Structure 1
Amino acid sequence: MNQLLITADRVITGPGGQTVENGAVLIDSGVIRAVGTANELESFASAKIERLRCPGATVVPGLIDCHVHLAFDAGPDPVRAVAEADPDNLLAAMAERAGQMLAAGVTTVRDLGDLDALTVTLREAVEAGKAAGPTILAATAPLTVSGGHCWFLGGEVTTDDEIRERIAHNATAGADLIKVMASGGALTPGGPRMWESQFTLEQLRLVVKEAARHGLGVAAHAHGTDAIADCVRAGVRTLEHCSWRTAEGVVYDPQITRRMVEGDVAVCRCVSGDWRLFLQQMGPERAEAMIGAIRDMRAAGVRFIAGTDAGVPGARFGDFVGMLEFFASLGFSNAEVIDMATTNAAHALGLSDTGRLAPGLRADLIAVDGDPLTDLSALRRVRHVFTSAGCRPLSQRGPRSHPEQ
């Protein structure tokens, strides 16, 4: 058995900044066995167990990025980059991007749109220990209308039967969830506008029903206010972007937000590290309207989850913390922001074995220099990353430590 006792100045164990001062975590073959004070765990831990002491550091649950696109290169034209890529070269590039995220402390990612289910192939390589990367949840090809947003990923559907067939195809390919492009988006030239709905309420209900028949939840790309309303009524699990756009500007609907809270629909606002430039390009009026909608949703009790949209232009794979700093700039406490990236994210993604530090959960955790509850930038100073991904099948080798790259 591969055991390791990690000690640090503090261990953040769960929501709301729950902390054990002078804490310790005992991990064994990819699983957390005990969490407590260093004195408690030292008192019963065998002298033969390997120790890793991290003075000046905080141990935090592994971070979760709920919205990435590993097939995109974050360059100015990711559409062409995907369309022209050799599959083997693209898979290698995706593995390298996954490694960047792991080095930044991200131990779980949800990929919300790729080509030819390459994320499933990468997920299997990570699980088999053939590639170093976070745990991957794969949506494979997102459902979109003919010529719609991200049509080039292969998920175009028109009829109800085609919706059923695409969902069945994705499930058979190994998808962990279904992604639907409920509205248009900026990434697709010539497609519907961001505020324009791509599917009817009845079609979205069919998507949710068919996904559930395969045991899968639904993540919905939804910029438009009408699309957001239809997605909430249809019963999607998470709303991606949720920017409340109309042809006239931002139109926030508090009634739909109440239904969102009642239905436990989480919001992944998808903000990358270049958010200051993004706000500048929006202009002060639109930026303030967008920020106001976020604050209104927060006040109403919406569960926010962390997502960078890594892979789209300007959204780099190694800059997870930049997105967290955006929410801190709006008045979210550091504990709230950390919850977005850990406990809230795990709940929204249906993951019961990560997002917290407790006995029996996966040994997904990071050690960072400083205290992120008082200084969020501490999450940039990653000292060690541990993940159970890819370790269990490897003859009891246990969790790996990935030093910062």
Structure 2
Amino acid sequence: MELLICAGQALLGPAGQRIKDGAVLIRDDTIVAVGTEPEVLATAAPDVAVLSFPDGTVLPGLIDGHVHLAFDASSDPVGALHASSDTDLLLGMAGRARQLLDSGVTTVRDLGDRHGLAIQLGRAIESGTLPGPRVLAAGMPLTSPGGHCGFLGGEVDGEDAIRDLVRRNASAGAAVVKVMVTGGGLTKSGPPIWATQFSAAELAVVVEEARAAGLPVAAHAHGTDGIAAAVTAGVDTIEHCTWMADGGFDVREDLAIEMAAKGIRVCPAASPNWRRFAERFGTERAKVMFDRYRWLHDHGVGLLAGTDAGVPHAVFDNPVGSLEFFEYLGFSREHVIELTTVSTAEALGIAAETARLAAGYRADVLVVDGDPLTDLDALRQARLVVAGGRPHVPTRVAVRALSAS
């Protein structure tokens, strides 16, 4: 079956690529044609289903490069997780996946769950059993004994244990390896957030074993020593990258230069709640911390979009709140859209198949009211989401239609 989506404009993904009165033709799970409405209509089957949004914008589906579906974004997501059976937890994760889809997200990278539940959920979504974005899941994240998020089951001690867990996650269907290089705020009993949990040699084992399984490595690293170890080991992405040290910060230009040279990308994992963080942390101090991501970009380090959805107050239904962080840093709206599509797809290793409106690409498509190049808030007005060729009407739109009938 073919579906033709017509809109006032089509944003193709890369910044600056735009078609006025654009159209996208989808056949099964693949985009087969993109162009002006007359051009694309001429190639469509006579019985093609046509959806028209003359005042809207069609663009690639959004990608969220850092979520935790196992957490519920409450004030105590760890407590909620401990109180949930795997069955209840999986049900909650399915609901959160639907929230992401409702918000225009068609691919997520889940960076840590319990018992590989996100892998199971991803399979259910892929089969069409449940609605949701494609899930690229890490399974149980590697951490040190008593370390950050050890309650998820990924504690390892020594080379053999590291290799064993990477292999088990890979065998279970993981699409990425996640390693907690430093402590983290969610684990009050663990090491300080700046403290390093793995040596560069141990991280090299993680990377070696991941490469053998054909998987990238995402490194949670707040502390500068941990960032340095991760860069030396050659991970693919560094999550957070806040340059913390005992008693302050230690920003190293040599590491930024090395990241750029090695193609290591950074995910700020800016919560949609980032403005509240700035208020609590102090506006001026927060600005100094935030501006370091622009500094990384200016040093040639690629950034990717991620919300850290699931941790306290990082909700699943406001990815645009996180994207507004990049606008705050001075990125143009067209580059913010490129960031959450093309750039994040590149960082996740899926840019050859998704994140562009182009023939041959996976049919991950978003239609919104208005023009996000004028105001990013338009991205909150999702009218239609197509994930892997499956059309989905956001719950808000469906309820409004029922109320009007």
In the superposition, the TM-score normalised over structure 2's length comes to 0.95
Give CA-to-partner distance per residue, 1:210-256, whole Å, 9 cap, x none: 11111111000000111111111111111100111112322221111
> What is the TM-score with the length of structure 1 in the denominator?
0.95
Q: CA RMSD in A?
A: 1.1
Q: 1:81 to 1:403 in 2, by over 3 A?
A: closer
Deviation at 1:75, TM superposition (A): 0.9
Q: Which runs of 5+ in 2 are unaligned?
A: 397-405
- Could you give the per-residue CA deviations for residues 238-281 of structure 1, whole angstroms, max 9, x where no partner exists? 11001111123222211111111111111110111111110111
Counterpart-to-counterpart distance in 2, 1:366 and 1:14: 11
**Which residue identity does 1:72 align to in structure 2?**
F
Give the equivalent residue in structure 2 for 1:339. Answer: 338
Alignment of 1:83 onto 2:82: yes
Aligned residue type for 2:371: D
Cα distance change on mapping 1:79 and 1:278 into 2, 3 Å = same
CA-to-aligned-CA distance 1:50-102 (integer Å, 9 cap, x gap): 11111110101000000000010111111121122111111111000000000
Give, in angstroms, the shift of residue 148 of structure 1: 0.4
Conservation of the 8 A alpha-carbon contact between 1:11 and 1:24: yes
Query: What percent identity do the matched residue pairs reach?
Result: 50
Find the counterpart in structure 1 of residue 164 from structure 2: 165
AA at the equivalent of 1:194: I
Aligned-residue offset at 1:302:
1.6
Q: State the alpha-carbon separation in 2 of the partners of residues 233 and 404 from structure 1.
A: 45
CA distance in 2, matches of 1:250, 1:279: 17
How far apart are the structure 1 equivalents of 2:303 and 2:205?
A: 26
- The answer for the alignment partner of 1:402 in structure 2 is 393
Which residue in the other structure is 1:119 paired with?
Answer: 118
Are 1:367 and 2:362 an aligned pair? no
Distance 1:250 1:35 in 2: 48
Corresponding residue SS for 1:75: coil
Q: Which stretches in structure 1 are left out of the alignment for 5+ residues?
A: 389-397
1:330 match: 329
Other-structure match for 1:255: 254
Separation in 1 of the partners of 2:394 and 2:154?
Answer: 38
Distance in 2, Cα, partners of 1:208 & 1:387: 31
2:47 maps to which residue?
Answer: 48
Per-residue CA deviations over 1:136-187 (Å, capped at 9, x if unaligned) read 0010000000000000000001111110111111111111110000011000
Residues 382 and 404 of structure 1 are in contact (CA less than 8 Å); yes or no, is this contact kept in structure 2? Answer: no
Aligned to 1:387: 387
- Pairwise CA distance, 1:285: 4.5
The letter of the residue matching 1:371 is D
Contact 2:101 2:394 survives alignment (8 Å): no
Answer yes or no: is the 8 Å Cα contact 1:103–1:385 preserved in 2.
yes
Mapped to 1, the partners of 2:129 and 2:41 lie a distance apart of: 34
Distance 1:353 1:269 in 2: 24
Q: Distance in 1 between matches of 2:341 and 2:4?
A: 22
Partner of 1:136: 135
Whether the aligned pair in 2 keeps the contact of 1:250 and 1:289 (CA below 8 Å) is: no
> Secondary structure in 1 aligned to 2:32?
strand
Deviation at residue 44 of structure 1 after TM alignment: 3.0
Q: What letter corresponds to residue 65 of structure 1 in structure 2?
A: D
Q: Which amino acid aligns with 1:178?
A: V
- 1:404 is displaced (CA, Å) by 4.5
SS at match of 1:293: helix
Cα distance, 1:41 vs structure 2 = 1.1
Count of residues in correspondence between the two structures: 395
Code of the aligned partner of 1:381 = Q
Q: Structure 2: how far apart are the matches of 1:368 and 1:17?
A: 18
In the TM superposition, what whole-angstrom CA distance separates every residue of 1:93-124 from its partner, at most 9, and x where no partner exists?
10000000000000000100000000111111
Which residue of structure 2 aligns with residue 393 of structure 1?
Answer: none
User: Paired residue for 1:395?
Assistant: none
1:245-284 mapped onto 2 (5 Å cutoff): 245-284=244-283
The one-letter amino acid paired with 1:185 is G
Alpha-carbon distance in 2 for matches of 1:69, 1:295:
25
The CA distance in 2 between the partners of 1:282 and 1:300, in whole Å, is: 26
Counterparts of residues 4-403 of structure 1 (less than 5 Å): 4-351=3-350, 352-388=352-388, 399-403=390-394
What's the secondary structure of 1:27's corresponding residue?
Answer: strand
CA apart distance, 1:291: 2.1
Partner in structure 2 of residue 394 of structure 1: none
The aligned amino acid for 2:240 is: H
Corresponding residue for 2:402? none
Aligned equivalents of 1:44, 1:122: Cα separation in 2: 36
State the SS of the aligned residue for 1:132. Answer: coil
Q: Following the alignment from structure 2 to structure 1, what is the Cα–Cα distance between the partners of residues 267 and 186?
A: 18
Q: Which shows bigger deviation, 163-172 or 246-255?
A: 246-255
Q: Is the 8 A contact 1:7 1:24 kept in 2?
A: yes
After superposing on structure 2, the runs of 4+ consecutive aligned residues of structure 1 that deviate more than 3 Å are: none
Q: Give the distance between the partners of 1:344 and 1:316, measured in 2 at CA.
A: 22
* Aligned equivalents of 1:248, 1:86: Cα separation in 2: 39
Distance in 2 (CA, whole Å) between partners of 1:66 and 1:249 is: 28
